[in-house]
Structure 1
Amino acid sequence: MRARGRGGASPEALAEAVHRLAIRLLRTLRSEDEQSGLTGPRLSALSVIVFAGPVTLGELAAAEQVKPPTMTRLVRALEREGLVRREKDPADGRVIR
């Protein structure tokens, strides 16, 4: 007997559907990468910033599931390209967003 997910679909069918969608998403992202000249990680980080608003490097690293030093390098590159700007938090000058 097989377990059924919501709507009666088997786990295997759901996994296959997710896999197909993931491949489609990756192809779309690859196409956008070529058009923008940005790497996938840079596009992903920019997406987090656009949707979340100003975030700290630690918050951005957590959202992207990378270590803070990795995110620091990525943000520096985005900053050099003029795509992001670091600003001190007005409520706490020690925090940079």
Structure 2
Amino acid sequence: MTSAERVDTDEQTDLAARLRLVVGRLHRRIRIDGRESIPPLQLSALVTVEQHGPLRLSELARREAVTAPTMSRVLASLDDQGLVIRTPDPNDARGVRIVLSDKGAARLAEVRSHRTALVARRLARLDVEQRHILDAAMPALEALLVDDDD
């Protein structure tokens, strides 16, 4: 490895560390300031059902990287709150598929609106040039969200 390649690698590692730290802390601040009544795993499950539903419990558990018993408890709570609906699986008489209820969609919209307002207030603290820099960086940041298997 040449010294120029080493410098590029070191700079990339430093940038990765800074980005990880700022994204993690910003996410934590939004979560804390948001004070949502819905726990993070339940919220994440709702978003996954919205994006990929209808889903079987096992598929939802896999997508959320939790065990089926854990997801079963999450779904029971979401069902009790009326945020999801369990529908029969047309391919398996014993199975059910999970879909988002109207109430669940409304709750997600409420959480998103509140969190967007929190971020907007933080953005308002920046000067115009800093906001333009963030706007210009958005395509690169969004590209980081694409998984290798997409």
Q: Indicate the TM-score class for this superposition, using the shorter chain for normalisation.
A: 0.7 to 0.9
Please give the alpha-carbon distance, in whole angstroms, between the structure 2 residues aligned to 1:83 and 1:44: 13
Question: What does residue 78 of structure 1 align with?
Answer: 78
RMSD of aligned C-alpha atoms? 2.0
Which aligned pairs between 1:1-97 and structure 2 lie closer than 5 A? 1=3, 2=6, 4=8, 9-32=11-34, 34=35, 36-97=36-97
What are the Cα deviations for residues 2-22 of structure 1, in whole angstroms up to 9, with x where unaligned?
A: 3525xx942122221122112
Q: Distance in 2 between matches of 1:14 and 1:73?
A: 35
Runs (5+) with no aligned partner, structure 2? 98-150
Structure 2 residue identity aligned to 1:15: A
Higher helix fraction (1 or 2): 2
Give the partner amino acid of 2:63.
A
8 Å contact from structure 1 (residues 3, 11) kept in 2: no
Q: Distance in 2 between matches of 1:4 and 1:93?
A: 56
Which has the larger Rg?
Answer: 2
1:19-44 deviation per Cα after TM superposition (whole angstroms, max 9, x unaligned): 21122122223333x2x411111111
Which structure's relative contact order is higher, taking Cα pairs within 8 Å and 6+ residues apart?
2
The CA distance in 1 between the partners of 2:52 and 2:33, in whole Å, is 24
**What are the Cα deviations for residues 32-66 of structure 1, in whole angstroms up to 9, with x where unaligned?**
3x2x4111111111111111111111111111111
Which consecutive unaligned segments of at least 5 residues does structure 1 have? Answer: none
SS of the aligned residue for 1:87 comes to strand
Q: How many pairs were matched up?
A: 93
- Tell me the percent identity: 31
